[in-house]
Structure 1
Amino acid sequence: MNPTLVGLELKRFCRDYVGLFFIAVLPAFMYVVFGAAQTFGAEDIGRGNVALYIMISMAVYGAVTATVSVGGSAAVERMQGWGRQLGLTPLRDAAYVAAKAIVAMVIAFIPIGLIYAIGFGTGAKGETWVWFASAAIVLFGACLFALYGLVFGLAFKSESAVGAASGSLVIFAFLGNIFIPLSGVMLTIAKFTPLYGLVSLARYPLTEGYSVDMEGNLAHEALWVPLANVGAWTLILTLLTVYLVRRGRDRQ
């Protein structure tokens, strides 16, 4: 790990005010509007209340957006020649990857910290261990989505790839049961989308797998379902990343 490289990367991301808005401020605003400001936010659910449930959901969206942007920018940098520049330095690939991983975790912590702090001050309630367990799941689970950004960056090789990757997350957030509770066929489809597994795992300490759909029906989901979703998408994104890296080398 190279502290200088990590510091430079963090400064670069912190200067991107537009990116920080979509990563941290927008999800926090959505929590306030759809969670803290609603009367149903105080209703009990599992080991806490509805406000905490919505807070966790928005933290997942913000953290994933953060790590996708880091992964996408890393791929674009390598494809645009930054990798060759680093090759002239003593920095090894392992150190570069480690630096990017640390940057991804730090950037992901920004929306998590902001949203959890706002939630703490606006009525989100739950058992103490639920707060810490859900935050840890969000943080480490979101890091897997750096692979999602890498896939877009390697496939499209332009700055717009990062925007496309982040923009597609909005669609997957709706389909992944993050913004609104789904039911019926839509819920069945949601279980195959990339964000469903992570948000379900993050909510699990709070809900223990129980949920209420838009029709008011109570349902329970076994833990293996979100675990299988996360595992499958991690494998898919890893294989896609390896394929795109090898394709890029073959063309050089």
Structure 2
Amino acid sequence: MNTTYLGLELKRTTRDFVTMFFVAVLPAFFYVIFGASQEYSGENAGNGNVAMYIMISMAAYGAVVATTGIGGAAAVERMQGWGRQLGLTPMSDGSYVVLKSAVALVIAAIPIALVFTLGGFTGAEGTPSAWIGSALILIAGAGMFSLYGLIFGLAFRSEAAVGAAGGSLVILAFLGNIFFPLTGWLLTLAKFTPLYGYAALARYPLTEGFTIDTTTGTLIEQPLWQPLANVVVWTVIFALLATWLARRGRGRQ
């Protein structure tokens, strides 16, 4: 991997203060508003408390915003001529993909680290396995949303489309049971949306699959295979769609 180019890409991304606000600062703000500042934040939630539950959810949102933006920007860069410029260098297509993946993971780790650090100072509590397990799942699983951003970049070939992809994550986050607990038919619908499985898996070390039905106040257990299947199916869908769009783009050239 070209570490010099990696460093330049990281500097370029982190210097975009508007992007970094939505990637890192906004999820941290959401955690403070919906988690740390609420009276119920100290109540038990599996292997920790409610503050940690909300902390993981907000970190998940920040991580997918990061990887979606990186994936979409990579597609737009290639189609706007940056790929031809890189073709004059020794860097191969494979190296470019690996480098962009590394950038996406590093940028995704920023909101996770910020929100987790903030949670540690504002009452989020959990077992060591819950902290470590959720953080690792958040970083590993966020990569699927780089494909989501890639789809928008390949389909519409503009930076505005990439911004729209990031904006659509707000809707997916609501439907994905991230911002507040869903019940009834909304919860049933949520299980088929792409962010649901990712967030549920990230919270699994904390909740062990249990959620609270806010209507009845009872605990509901969700088998592990459900969020796993959600992540696998959506990753396959994103990968197939991105591959098809990439081939279609080459066919037009």
Regarding TM over 0.5, the answer is: yes
Q: Which residue of 2 aligns with 1:251?
A: 252
- State the alpha-carbon separation in 1 of the partners of residues 145 and 54 from structure 2: 21
CA shift at 1:129, angstroms?
1.3
Q: Which residue of 1 aligns with 2:123?
A: 123
| Count of residue pairs brought into register by the alignment | 252
1:222 partner letter:
P
Identity %: 64
Corresponding residue SS for 1:219: strand
Moved over 4 A (4+): none
CA shift at 1:214, angstroms?
2.7
Corresponding residue SS for 1:211: strand
User: Residue deviations 1:196-231, cap 9 Å, x none?
Assistant: 000000010100100013312321100000000000
Q: Which residue of 1 aligns with 2:183?
A: 183
1:21 has 2:10 as partner: no
CA shift at 1:158, angstroms?
0.4
TM-score by length of 1: 0.99
2:223 partner letter:
A
User: Residue deviations 1:90-111, cap 9 Å, x none?
Assistant: 1101111111011001100100
- State the alpha-carbon separation in 1 of the partners of residues 213 and 164 from structure 2: 30
2:245 partner letter:
L
CA RMSD between the two structures: 0.6
User: Which runs of no fewer than 5 residues in structure 2 stay unpaired?
Assistant: none
Q: Which residue of 1 aligns with 2:192?
A: 192
TM-score by length of 2: 0.99
Aligned residue runs from structure 1 range 142-157, under 5 A: 142-157=142-157
User: Residue deviations 1:146-178, cap 9 Å, x none?
Assistant: 000000000010010111110000000000000
- State the alpha-carbon separation in 1 of the partners of residues 53 and 134 from structure 2: 10
- State the alpha-carbon separation in 2 of the partners of residues 84 and 213 from structure 1: 54
1:234 partner letter:
T
- State the alpha-carbon separation in 1 of the partners of residues 214 and 166 from structure 2: 27
Q: Which residue of 1 aligns with 2:224?
A: 223
- State the alpha-carbon separation in 2 of the partners of residues 90 and 168 from structure 1: 37
CA shift at 1:77, angstroms?
0.2
Q: Which residue of 1 aligns with 2:94?
A: 94
1:34 has 2:47 as partner: no
Q: Which residue of 2 aligns with 1:12?
A: 12
- State the alpha-carbon separation in 2 of the partners of residues 188 and 9 from structure 1: 40
Aligned residue runs from structure 1 range 44-63, under 5 A: 44-63=44-63
